[in-house]
Amino acid sequence: MKDSKQILLDHKVSITNPRILVIEALLENNNPLTVDELQIKLKKKVAKSTLYRVLNDLKKINILNEFTNPENATVVELLLEDDSHHHHLFCSDCGEIIDIQMGDEFEKTLSKEIKRIEKKFNFSIEDHRLELFGKCTDLCKNCS
Amino acid sequence: MKDSKQILLDHKVSITNPRILVIEALLENNNPLTVDELQIKLKKKVAKSTLYRVLNDLKKINILNEFTNPENATVVELLLEDDSHHHHLFCSDCGEIIDIQMGDEFEKTLSKEIKRIEKKFNFSIEDHRLELFGKCTDLCKNCS
DNA sequence: ATAAAAAATGAGAATAATTCTCATTTATTC
DNA sequence: GAATAAATGAGAATTATTCTCATTTTTTAT
């Protein structure tokens, strides 16, 4: 597992206990967590206001991805590798969120389409996000 | 323009002024609106609590699509045609949200990928959403 | 290693978005 | 058109997030 102190050092921000705890809680999980799940994992070790501040700090140094689940709750995940481009799969039964990688053919076709859209709307497109919604049938630990 | 009363009739819900006003405000726009933009368009003609209630009513009869913009504000749009599958393009300069259609090749490749993901994670995938983020360079009315 | 300066924290107040409550009004049914 | 059912408005309640400020921790410069 990555070293949380080193991550903070690498990004030239000061090394504090709350930041270390938040990063470690996120590192322990392979998949994204809602803010309240994170809060529960941290018990009372980090104040609520500090948690939100730390999350904003991590966003500023670009190692935190933030989005919302279908219930509009805020979800966060650490982004440590530069090449970790991925998408998300949501289970509407248990709420689990799974990181997924799309195949090369898909990403290539998407790139082509993005170029078309850029021309059509005179946009410069910098990022994209794909979300898949469904139900896990048996894999997911929370579902029967 | 579609008739708001007919839309309500078709979906077997009672025809009330607030519902008509909300639907008409949404019909006037081609592109999605944030809840506050909608509130402003409606002036004081619909109470805040009623607006939220009407939006929930429209969701229940499946003619409202709700999502969040990159600032996490709630965005809504009417979905009237069954075949109106589309995605969204967000401008980070002016906040404008544009409906986009992806080409057939893209949707076909995506379907193939979805089947692969369904097998891999033993999921049944029912829906998906693609969001593109960027900057409009000159088309967008709010940007210079 | 230490003192001074800068930055971060905790606790709770403030704010913003959304839902809830309930007395009144409006729509539907017969 | 009267009786019943449903929806509304106003504001209170709730929830998620940000802000304030006195205290503590971290960093910087000696």
Q: Does the pLDDT of residue B2 top 90, yes or no? A: no
Which range has the top average pLDDT, A74-83, B30-39, B45-54?
Answer: B45-54
The pLDDT value recorded for residue A140 is 60
Q: What is the Cα gyration radius of chain B? A: 17
Mean pLDDT over residues B63-84, rounded? 90
Encode pLDDT of A93-116 as tens digits.
888 999 999 999 999 999 999 999
Residue A126, pLDDT score: 95
Homologous superfamily assigned to A85-144: Ferric-uptake regulator, C-terminal dimerisarion domain (3.30.1490.190)
Q: Cβ separation of A131 and B129 shorter than 8 Å?
A: yes
User: pLDDT, tens digit, for every residue of B83-107?
Assistant: 689 999 999 988 899 999 999 999 9
Of the candidates B70, B32, B78, the one whose C-alpha atom is nearest the C-alpha of residue B54 is B78
Which of A62, A36, A65 has the alpha carbon at shortest distance from A51?
A: A36
CA contacts within 13 A on the Cβ side of B116: 13
Nucleotides of C under 7 A from a protein CB: 7-13, 17-21, 26-28
Question: B1-84 with B85-144: one CATH topology?
Answer: no
Give A 67-126 residues with CB within 8 A of chain B: 68, 72, 74, 89, 91-92, 98, 100, 102-103, 105-106, 109-110, 112-114, 116-118, 121-126
Q: Which pLDDT score is estimated for B50? A: 98
Is the per-residue pLDDT at B6 higher than 80? yes
Q: How confident is the model at residue B3 (pLDDT cuts 50, 70, 90)?
A: very high
Say whether pLDDT at B131 is over 80: yes
* End-to-end CA, chain A: 31
Which architecture does CATH list for B1-84? Orthogonal Bundle (1.10)
Domain boundaries, chain B: 1-84, 85-144
Report the nucleotide nearest the CA of residue B72, measured to C1': C17
- Mean pLDDT score of chain B: 92
Terminal-to-terminal C-alpha distance of chain B: 31
Cα–chain center distance at A6 = 20
pLDDT attached to residue B11: 96
Nearest chain A alpha carbon to B139: A122
Q: Are A55 and A64 in contact (CB under 8 A)?
A: yes
Residue A131: name the closest of B72, B83, B88 by CA.
Answer: B88
Q: In angstroms, how far is D29 C1' from B24 CA?
A: 66
**Parallel/antiparallel/unpaired status of strands A87-91 and B87-91:** unpaired
CB A132 within 8 A of CB A70: no
**What pLDDT score does A1 carry?**
67
Query: Which portions of chain A are predicted below pLDDT 50?
Result: none
Q: What CATH fold (topology level) applies to the domain A1-81?
A: Arc Repressor Mutant, subunit A (1.10.10)
- Is some CB atom of chain B closer than 8 A to the CB atom of A139? yes
Strand D contact set, beta carbon < 7 A: A 14-17, 35-36, 48-49, 52-53, 55-56, 73-74; B 13-14, 16-19, 45-50, 53-54, 57, 72
